[in-house]
Amino acid sequence: MGIFKRVKDLFLAETNGLLDKCEQPLKMVDQYIREFELELAKGQRALANQLYIEKRQAALIAETEAIIEKRDRQAKLAVKQDEEHIAKLALQEKLMHEKKLAAYSAQYATIQEQTKLLEERIGRLLVQSEEYNHRRLLLASRANVASSLKELNQNVVSFQTENVAKGFARAEDRILMIEAEMEAMAHFSSPVKRSAPQYLDPSLTADIDKELDELKQQHTQE
C-alpha cells in the first residue's frame, strides 16, 4: 500500500505541476493585456493618421477658399478695367474651385465623422485598458492569497499526524516506565525494607515460632 500511495502522490504532483505550467493565470492575463495594448496602439496610430488627414483637408479647403476669393477680386478688377476676357477666365477658375470646395467640404465632413468615431473608440479602449489593469491587480492579489492557502493546505495534508500521536504514546510509555522504576527504587531503598523481607518463608515457620516464644518469655520475666 505504501508503494501505491507514493506512486499516486508522485503522479498527482507531476500532473499539478504540468497544469500550473500550462495555465499560469497571471501570465495568461499579462498576455491578453499585451495583445489589447497592441490593438490600442494601432487605434492610436490610426487616430493620429486620421487627425493628420483632417488637418490636411482643412488646409486644402482654406487654400481653395483663398483661391476663390482671389479670383473673385481679379474678375471684379477686370470688369472695372473693361477686360472682359480676363474677367471671364477669372470667373471660370472661380467656379471650378467652388465645385472643388463643395467636394472638399463634403469629404471634410466625412473625415470629421470618422475622426469622431475613432476618438470615441479610443476613449472606450482607454477606459477598458484602465479596467483591465485594475482587474489584473485584483487577480494578482487573489492569486497570491490562493497560492498561500494552497501551500498551507498542502502542508496540513502532508503533515504526518499519526507520527505525532505515536510519538506522544511512546513518550507517555517512557514516562510511565521511568515512574515505575523510581517507585521500585524507592520501595527497596528503605533501610527496613532492605534488612528484612516483607514475606514469611514457610520453611522457617517452626524456628520463627520458637524464637518468638522465647522473646515473649523473656519479656514476661522482665
Give 2-159's CATH code, choosing from 1.10.720, 3.40.30, 1.10.287, 3.90.1150: 1.10.287
- Which residues does 51 contact at the CB level (< 8 Å), separation at least 6? 115
90 burial type by CB count under 10 A (0-12 exposed, 13-18 middle, 19+ buried): buried
Asked if residue 33 has pLDDT above 90, the reply is no
**Where on the phi/psi map is residue 190: left (φ > 0), alpha (ψ -120 to 50), or beta?**
beta
**What pLDDT does residue 1 have?**
47
**What pLDDT does residue 187 have?**
60
Q: Is the pTM of this model over 0.85?
A: no
Separation of alpha carbons 197 and 208, rounded Å:
14
Q: Which has the higher per-residue pLDDT, 200 or 89?
A: 89
Each residue of 38-55: pLDDT tens digit?
A: 988 998 999 999 999 999
What are the strands, taking DSSP E only, across 9-142? Answer: none
Separation of alpha carbons 21 and 15, rounded Å:
10
**What pLDDT does residue 18 have?**
46
Range from 145-149, 154-158, 165-169 carrying the lowest mean pLDDT: 154-158
Q: What single string gives the DSSP state of each residue in 180-220?
A: HHHHHHHHHHSHHHHHS-SS--GGGHHHHHHHHHHHHHHHH
Q: Which has the higher per-residue pLDDT, 91 or 149?
A: 91
Q: Rounding to the nearest 10 degrees, give the CA dihedral for residues 198, 203, 204, 206.
A: 130
Identify residue 147 by its one-letter amino acid code. S
